[in-house]
Structure 1
Amino acid sequence: MPPDAREPYDLAVIGAGPAGLAGAVTAAEHGLSVALLDSARQPGGQFYRHPAPATRAARPEALHHDWPAFADLRDRLKAGGVTCLFDHHVWTVAREAEDDWTIHALTEPPGDQQHSVRVRARAILLATGSYERQLPFPGWTLPGVVGAGGAQAMLKSGLVLPGRRVVVAGSGPLLLAVAGSLVTAGAEVPALVEASSYFRYTRHPRALAAQPRKLTEGAHHAEALLRHRVRPRTRHAVTEAHGTDRVEAVTVSRLDHEWHPIPGTERRIDCDALAVGHGLIPQIDLATALGCATRRTADGTHALALSPLQETSLRGLWSAGETSGVGGAQQAMAEGELAALAAASRLTGRRPAPLPHLRSLRRSRDRMNAFADAMAVTHAPGPGWTRWLTDETDVCRCEEVPAGRVREAVTEYGARDARSAKLLTRAGMGWCQGRVCGWAVSCLASSPDTAPTHAGAQTSAPDRRPLATPVPLGVLADLTSPDRQPASPPPASDLPPHPPTEGQPS
């Protein structure tokens, strides 16, 4: 059984992806009592998402890049005495006093009803990752249209394909990985549609030279695509999806340098699925609810503003991974380790690692940050993407709010940001709480058609939502009741075992 919820842990880590795992095991190895919370039922996060045991996958690592890094963290997690609280959905974090934090989560143990859990800690490490950015277009609500990351998740966790003939579209390096995984798993990819140009990376020679590993990754994906005769179409975008009961074809248009579709360049491509995404958005709602300072990233999103040692503007709250900017798993691991070392130094009053190691870790982190900035600039959406939206195109899928209604809120009622547009149209009030439509609505509110020269990527500041996930009213009414015991963490033997070395995913 875990320690009583009334006794605080030294460090609570929220998120069991690369950053959270690195932070949790590092902190535990330096003598801290650590609780690791994640909404999934096993460690790995989105990047190292792997099949459930019921799938009986023989080689889950076959669909992952750099699996040994995850295997090392998983083994250290088993041996490190970390209290693993999986299937815990954190909905808010409260600061009671300095060195006194309370994490509120919902959990649903097998055979029981969902109930609330409170975990107390002296310090917190946020490693909540990111979610996909979607740019709506006519037909994007058809069955068979999935996020690029969603297609990757379907393949990694369920060993299923979104379709047999899958167009991969959007912008960002994730598209290469998704297309490569799909063709390797047996899907046909008739087109890889990239809205930006890979040649823009050449404007950042120092960042490229400092990250040869990234170039190797890119070459690996390119080799898989070349072997299956998949040729990327740069400066193109899917501007419409066609079909009745599900997607049957897409229209691909060439874009100018501001992402305006060029008339007369349309081409129709038959498919039975479309995997589309335009990069990732840091998931920082827990931090912004606390009032943490943010910064605007190079591609128009918002990330947390951090100190050189990964601390937010609130003392005792550290952050690592994509909450501070999207840069990949290796960057997340470096930041997680650095944050854990900083927290251990603060809490124990002694230096947990030699100075040369800390300096080396910071230099590595800074080099990867520079590459992440170059990547963000290269794939940043241009303001012209809103031109492929008709007034009838749903922007908010949950509340079925079309683009025309958002434009009306701007031109007729004076909306100038996502919040005012939400209050006037209900866009962002649905189940996803704006995670799917928020960025697009913000672009429309900040850059309406009446001012097309304004940079569409300059979105408004993120909302400060007190609740990060949907919460039953009974849980809110029960906040004054005594703390409840967290669900028992799985013993180390129940964590995912070593994968066999032979065989294929089945």
Structure 2
Amino acid sequence: MSNLTCDVLIIGGGPAGLAAARAAAQSGQSVLVLDDNPRPGGQIWRDGPGVILPVLAQQYRQAVEALNNVTLLNAVKIVAHYGPQQILYEGALGSGLVDYQRLILCCGARELLLPFPGWTLPGVTGAGGLQAQIKQGLQIKGERVVIAGSGPLLLAVANNVAKAGGEVVVLAEQASVLRLAGFAGGLWRWPTKLRQSLTLLNRRYRPDSYVLEALGEQRLEAVRVRQGRRVVTLPCDRLACGFGLVANIELAMLLGCRIFNHAVAVDEQQQTSLPQIYAAGDCTGVGGSELALAEGAIAGYVATGNREQAQALLAQRDKWRHFAGAVERAFMLNPALKALSMPDTLLCRCEDVPLGQVREFSGWSAAKLGSRCGMGACQGKICATAARHLFGWPLEAPRIPLTPARTETLVRLGRAESDG
């Protein structure tokens, strides 16, 4: 893969990245979008066999793909940042360098997965993970599916399962009835969300509920679920469990951007603490596609000097920021979830490290050195995030490479650092 240059580099091709590209392109400057998915759209607008994308997603994709000064480079991952303004990326055909003038981070978010007995059994996935598999063509017709965890994503997953022919056994939401009632009572402020919630209503929805244990020998056979004060055992074929989303901030931390409340800190213009670097979407705080679109457009306009059009979007952004705050308050995680795991429950699935072994350490670096926790394929994205939630450990600066990379890519990285 060859070296590239651009005026504006955007990391992430989800709603925020597409909106940023569309806005930045109006200046006539060259825009490059790097994304790790095979097609634009991110997780929320993930494409796949048989997927019918929302009209808005189609409009953004078509608009960006039609722009002559925008280049979309999909199925690549960011390996490192070094030098004044350079990014090293890797794809199926090799690695490449990008020289940029301004950078917009639209890195999105990932699921928070908390360990519990049996969570490593075949048949147990993240809630968003099952949704992604269905969009990629996974056949679940006739299968019994338990959906559990927290947040509005669970309703969307249940809807996908039903459309794919699966049977939703229960939709266990850990949030209390009181919090959910307060949230629902305020939805009139966001009419589109109110209408959307009505279309996603599910008769299997149970608040004050969470999975205690996944049961099975060779694969998942049943789950034990606490529903209020009682515990029930439910036979099932799949369990999709996710406890909300966490911002992807590793690249921002590597760059030296200020982090606040576990997200990239930005000002009113979506600018980070560093000049020429902006951020938008869920990496600045989880808020959904509407907020991501507004923030992405603002970042794209400001990065290319079009502050007037950015100013026109501030009220829309603030409206969806208020919604994001309401969601965060309503679905705040119950502290009881921290006590689900036993000492022999695996925390790091890649390296088979149990929770009891990791609990002995004072922080993430010590845990990695003493147990190999986080040294596997996910590079700690799952287990480190869970450990921070369970133990209250502080964030630690990431190291390069940000993701496992081929030897020739690492050699290129070494040469570039030597040249610098």
Tell me the distance in 2 between the aligned counterparts of 1:213 and 1:80: 29
Moved over 6 A (4+): 204-207
CA distances 1:375-416 after superposition (whole Å, capped 9, x unpaired): 112212232212221111111111111111123x14xxxx1x
- Given residue 144 of structure 1, which amino acid in structure 2 is its aligned partner? G
Instruction: Name the SS of the counterpart of 1:318 in structure 2.
Output: strand
Correspondence for 1:467: 401
Correspondence for 1:479: 413
Correspondence for 1:422: 368
- Given residue 132 of structure 2, which amino acid in structure 1 is its aligned partner? A
Correspondence for 1:124: 103
Q: Are the counterparts in 2 of residues 253 and 267 from structure 1 also a CA contact under 8 Å?
A: yes
Q: 1:397 to 1:83 in 2, by over 3 A?
A: same
Tell me the distance in 1 between the aligned counterparts of 2:152 and 2:400: 33
> How far off is 1:482 after superposition?
8.0
- Given residue 72 of structure 1, which amino acid in structure 2 is its aligned partner? Q
Q: Are the counterparts in 2 of residues 421 and 441 from structure 1 also a CA contact under 8 Å?
A: no
Correspondence for 1:294: 259
- Overall identity of the aligned pairs, in %: 38
Q: How does 1:283-362 map to 2 (within 5 A)?
A: 283-296=248-261, 302-345=262-305, 352=306, 355=308, 357-362=309-314
- Given residue 341 of structure 2, which amino acid in structure 1 is its aligned partner? L
Correspondence for 2:128: 149
- Given residue 195 of structure 2, which amino acid in structure 1 is its aligned partner? T
> How far off is 1:107 after superposition?
1.4
Residue of structure 1 aligned with 2:37, choices 40, 55, 72: 40
Q: 1:247 to 1:213 in 2, by over 3 A?
A: same
Instruction: Name the SS of the counterpart of 2:318 in structure 1.
Output: helix
Instruction: Name the SS of the counterpart of 2:95 in structure 1.
Output: strand
Correspondence for 2:232: 267
Correspondence for 2:65: 78
Tell me the distance in 2 between the aligned counterparts of 1:246 and 1:205: 37
Residue of structure 2 aligned with 1:9, choices 6, 13, 21: 6
Instruction: Name the SS of the counterpart of 2:413 in structure 1.
Output: coil
Q: How does 1:140-289 map to 2 (within 5 A)?
A: 140-161=119-140, 164-197=143-176, 199-201=178-180, 203=182, 208-222=187-201, 225=202, 230-254=203-227, 265-289=230-254
Residue of structure 2 aligned with 1:394, choices 324, 339, 346: 346
- Given residue 90 of structure 2, which amino acid in structure 1 is its aligned partner? L
Instruction: Name the SS of the counterpart of 1:431 in structure 2.
Output: coil
Tell me the distance in 1 between the aligned counterparts of 2:320 and 2:352: 40
> How far off is 1:206 after superposition?
9.8
Correspondence for 1:456: none
> How far off is 1:31 after superposition?
1.1
- Given residue 3 of structure 2, which amino acid in structure 1 is its aligned partner? A
Tell me the distance in 2 between the aligned counterparts of 1:472 and 1:481: 15
Instruction: Name the SS of the counterpart of 2:315 in structure 1.
Output: helix
Tell me the distance in 1 between the aligned counterparts of 2:291 and 2:416: 40
> How far off is 1:231 after superposition?
2.2
> How far off is 1:432 after superposition?
0.6
> How far off is 1:32 after superposition?
1.4
Q: Are the counterparts in 1 of residues 302 and 310 from structure 2 also a CA contact under 8 Å?
A: no
CA distances 1:428-478 after superposition (whole Å, capped 9, x unpaired): 2221111111122223433xxxxxxxxxxxx52243333221123432222
CA distances 1:7-37 after superposition (whole Å, capped 9, x unpaired): x311011111111111112111221101111
Tell me the distance in 1 between the aligned counterparts of 2:82 and 2:138: 39
The TM-score, its normalising length taken from structure 2, stands at 0.93
CA RMSD of aligned residues (A): 2.2
Q: 1:421 to 1:337 in 2, by over 3 A?
A: same
The TM-score, its normalising length taken from structure 1, stands at 0.78
Q: Are the counterparts in 2 of residues 401 and 427 from structure 1 also a CA contact under 8 Å?
A: yes
Q: Are the counterparts in 1 of residues 142 and 165 from structure 2 also a CA contact under 8 Å?
A: no
Tell me the distance in 1 between the aligned counterparts of 2:241 and 2:184: 28
Correspondence for 2:116: 137
Q: Are the counterparts in 1 of residues 177 and 208 from structure 2 also a CA contact under 8 Å?
A: no
Instruction: Name the SS of the counterpart of 1:470 in structure 2.
Output: coil
Gaps of 5+ in 1: 110-114, 256-261, 297-301, 346-351, 447-458, 484-506
Correspondence for 1:405: 357
Gaps of 5+ in 2: none
Of residues 201-210 and 186-195 in structure 1, the stretch that sits farther from structure 2 once superposed is 201-210
Tell me the distance in 2 between the aligned counterparts of 1:22 and 1:420: 41
Correspondence for 1:454: none
Tell me the distance in 2 between the aligned counterparts of 1:162 and 1:43: 28
User: Who wins on radius of gyration, i.e. which is larger?
Assistant: 1
Q: 1:161 to 1:317 in 2, by over 3 A?
A: farther
Q: Are the counterparts in 1 of residues 79 and 401 from structure 2 also a CA contact under 8 Å?
A: yes
Correspondence for 1:491: none
Instruction: Name the SS of the counterpart of 2:365 in structure 1.
Output: helix
Tell me the distance in 2 between the aligned counterparts of 1:481 and 1:391: 44
Q: 1:464 to 1:198 in 2, by over 3 A?
A: farther
Instruction: Name the SS of the counterpart of 1:191 in structure 2.
Output: strand
Tell me the distance in 2 between the aligned counterparts of 1:247 and 1:77: 43
Q: Are the counterparts in 2 of residues 248 and 272 from structure 1 also a CA contact under 8 Å?
A: yes
